[in-house]
Amino acid sequence: MNLLLAEVAQATQRLADAGVPSPRFDAEELAAYVHGVKRGELHNLPDADFDARYWEAVARREAREPLQHITGRAFFRYLELQVGPGVFVPRPETESVVGWAIDALRAMDVAEPLVVDLCTGSGAIALALAQEVPRSTVHAVELDEGALEWARRNTEGSRVVLHQGNALTALPHLDGQVDLVISNPPYIPLEEWEYVAPEARDHDPQMALFSGQDGLDTIRGLERTAGRLLRPGGVVVVEHADTQGGQVPWIFNEEAGWTDAADHRDLNNRPRFTTARKATP
Ligand SMILES: C[S@@+](CC[C@H](N)C(=O)[O-])C[C@H]1O[C@@H](n2cnc3c(N)ncnc32)[C@H](O)[C@@H]1O
């Protein structure tokens, strides 16, 4: 084992002792970041390249600062996004939510799909859709000025149209025209505050996490926004907590003008998102 890999092994142990959920991955990712290489290239680095900045980064991660705040970047599908304090770090489980939306858009017989991402945060979902669905127009809405600054940086030069505003009242000029509405909104119940991982609780903005006593306040509001924005036959895709798979599909019920409400699991086989179709009259 070369010196660098021995240091990575030592860092892995320190992170594991601190309760970091993926200690080896994070130790390697920090080493790769400090040395300006990809994780798979660590084996090729000469011993002499080892750097004290690595241990500073490890100490920050040990204190449960999010990995992505230390490196300043988050990977999401085919994107590398800029993230840091003030914006929610995009999560891997949201990638499967976007995957479902991409398949749904491809299955629609629409030449130039119109898409809305509500609660866009860093812009991750909107950017992935714009990148992977050619000829789509993607509008993204975010309320929080701090998050919006990151979204502006990330969407600069892209086809995403960014709006500051409340997702619950957003984009009235698009009413009845949108093919797909997608959202990863805040959904953690307020009472679960103490169970939230320190990376999220202490570093993600509160507005990105919590939404009322049962966590569903924003999703209830989004149901009305999606119902207003979608054309008949358009679809909505909403992420939720893995404990909410029994509740969220009921919000998109037939009395409110929805069909085909269904819940879906993520790659870890946990309930993760609800989809529904706006009924045709
Ligand atoms: C869980 S984060 C998700 C961010 C991003 N969509 C992602 O998946 O990485 C939720 C985001 O919704 C924003 N938000 C919360 N309430 C909102 C509202 N009423 N209108 C617009 N944005 C809102 C928060 O500021 C935060 O950026």
Are 263 and 252 in contact by the 8 Å Cβ rule? The answer is no
State whether 94 and 229 are in the same domain.
Answer: yes
> Would you say residue 272 lies in a domain?
yes
Residue 48 half-sphere exposure, CB side, CA atoms within 13 Å? 0
Any atom of ligand 1 within 6 Å of the Cβ of 225: no
State whether 51 and 120 are in the same domain.
Answer: no
- pTM, whole model, 2 decimals? 0.95
Ligand 1 centre distance from Cα of residue 252 (Å): 20
Any atom of ligand 1 within 6 Å of the Cβ of 144: yes
Any atom of ligand 1 within 6 Å of the Cβ of 120: yes
Any atom of ligand 1 within 6 Å of the Cβ of 12: no
Among residues 279, 264, 155, the alpha carbon closest in space to that of 226 is found at: 279
State whether 272 and 163 are in the same domain.
Answer: yes
State whether 256 and 147 are in the same domain.
Answer: yes
Are 8 and 39 in contact by the 8 Å Cβ rule? The answer is no
> Would you say residue 107 lies in a domain?
yes
Residue by residue, pLDDT tens for the chain (281 residues) are 566 788 899 999 999 999 999 999 999 999 999 988 888 888 887 765 567 899 999 999 999 999 999 999 999 999 999 999 999 999 999 999 999 999 999 999 899 999 999 999 999 999 999 999 999 999 999 999 999 999 999 999 999 999 999 999 999 999 999 999 999 999 999 989 888 999 999 999 999 999 999 999 999 999 999 999 999 999 999 999 999 999 999 999 999 999 999 999 999 999 999 999 999 98
State whether 232 and 263 are in the same domain.
Answer: yes
Any atom of ligand 1 within 6 Å of the Cβ of 121: yes
> Would you say residue 198 lies in a domain?
yes
- Which residues span the domain enclosing 199? 86-278
Question: Which residue's CA lies nearest to atom 26 of ligand 1?
Answer: 208
State whether 110 and 201 are in the same domain.
Answer: yes
Q: Give the span between the Cα atoms of 131 and 133, in whole angstroms.
A: 6
> Would you say residue 79 lies in a domain?
no
State whether 114 and 9 are in the same domain.
Answer: no
Any atom of ligand 1 within 6 Å of the Cβ of 122: yes
State whether 98 and 214 are in the same domain.
Answer: yes
State whether 108 and 185 are in the same domain.
Answer: yes
State whether 171 and 108 are in the same domain.
Answer: yes
CATH number at residue 160: 3.40.50.150
- Give the count of domains, the chain: 2
Among residues 160, 154, 32, the alpha carbon closest in space to that of 86 is found at: 154
Q: Give the span between the Cα atoms of 69 and 63, in whole angstroms.
A: 12
Q: Give the span between the Cα atoms of 168 and 181, in whole angstroms.
A: 12
Q: Is 187 annotated as contributing to ligand binding?
A: yes
Among residues 142, 168, 276, the alpha carbon closest in space to that of 228 is found at: 168
Question: What single string gives the DSSP state of each residue in 134-189?
Answer: TT-EEEEEE--HHHHHHHHHHHTTSSEEEEES-TTT--GGGTTTEEEEEE----B-
> Would you say residue 268 lies in a domain?
yes
> Would you say residue 122 lies in a domain?
yes
> Would you say residue 228 lies in a domain?
yes
The pLDDT, as a whole number, for residue 50 is 62
Q: Is 253 annotated as contributing to ligand binding?
A: no
State whether 199 and 140 are in the same domain.
Answer: yes
Ligand 1 centre distance from Cα of residue 5 (Å): 39
State whether 92 and 52 are in the same domain.
Answer: no
Helix (H, G, I), strand (E, B) or coil at 259: strand
| Last residue in a domain, options 63, 78, 111 | 63
